[in-house]
A = this chain, B = another copy of it.
Amino acid sequence: MHFTSERRLDDGVLEREFTLGEIPGILWTPGSASAPVPLILLGHPGGLPKMYPRLAARARHTVAQGYAAATIELPGGGDRPRLADVEAARADLRRALQAGEPVDDGIVDRLVLPLVDRAVPEWQATLDALLALPGIDGPVGFAGGVIAIGVRLAVVEPRIAAAALFAGSFVPRSMFEEARQVTIPLLVLLQWDDEGNDRQLALDLFDAFGSKEKTLHANMGGHTGIPAFEGDDGNRFFGRHLK
């Protein structure tokens, strides 16, 4: 892990860009030295440069509650080399949604499974590197999307102790068996009238999770309209499980 830039935000939060091999990422930590803090990984749909304003806002909110926050670019996202198979599936998905057609399982599998297979080991390598830094400690939370990546991480990565998952993207039916293996506490966010998402699939996925403590929060406002108060709810959720 190499830090490539460092700056202090106006609220004192330290923001450092890094690369891990070819993967770019950002780490946000509390402004003043303190006892080691738990880490929350911020998931997103890919495209760090475009997502930066929203991610930085989430990160500052998170760090203000006494955590470190970090994110990495998705395979094929932002400035990383495109993934031809994923791009082709994404085009098919867009066509189906624009035509108002049902999204068939084949498209979802071709879009999501290669991303999950590639992204999860990258998140795990990032975790190795971040937890070796002074000032960051376990346990670790995962917050956001791509939800299928969060599901796989929750199953295979024992350092993830709780997850706040954004049910805002398709999950392959073949991953429902993995969802049943998830046992960590979950907060699942659903935007009720998210046009590019499948509400029933999200409800089925919530039902499938094996966790004894799982909470669903559904709100109005479309895909990007998650109310600000959900940020507070997410911090309280992690407060119950990471501290």
Contacts and interface: CB of A to CB of B under 8 A. Distances in A.
Interface of A: 192, 203, 206-207, 212-220, 227, 229, 232-233, 236, 240
A213 B207 contact: no
24 contacts: A192-B206, A192-B207, A192-B216, A203-B203, A206-B218, A212-B220, A213-B220, A213-B227, A214-B219, A214-B220, A215-B217, A215-B218, A215-B219, A215-B227, A216-B216, A216-B217, A216-B218, A216-B219, A217-B217, A218-B218, A229-B236, A229-B240, A232-B236, A233-B233
Contacts of A206: 192, 218
A226 to B, nearest CB: 11
A57 to B, nearest CB: 19
A217 B237 CA distance: 13
Contacts of A236: 229, 232
Contacts of A227: 213, 215
A47 to B, nearest CB: 28
Contacts of A192: 206-207, 216
A235 B146 CA distance: 31
A9 B240 CA distance: 29
Contacts of A240: 229
A214 B218 CA distance: 8
Contacts of A219: 214-216
Given A192-B216, A216-B219, 9 more contacts: A214-B219, A215-B217, A215-B218, A215-B219, A215-B227, A216-B217, A217-B217, A229-B236, A233-B233
A216 B189 CA distance: 10
Nearest to A214: B220
Residue of A214, A220, A232, A236 with highest tally of chain B CB at under 10 A: A220
Contacts of A217: 215-217
Residue of A203, A215, A219, A240 with highest tally of chain B CB at under 10 A: A215
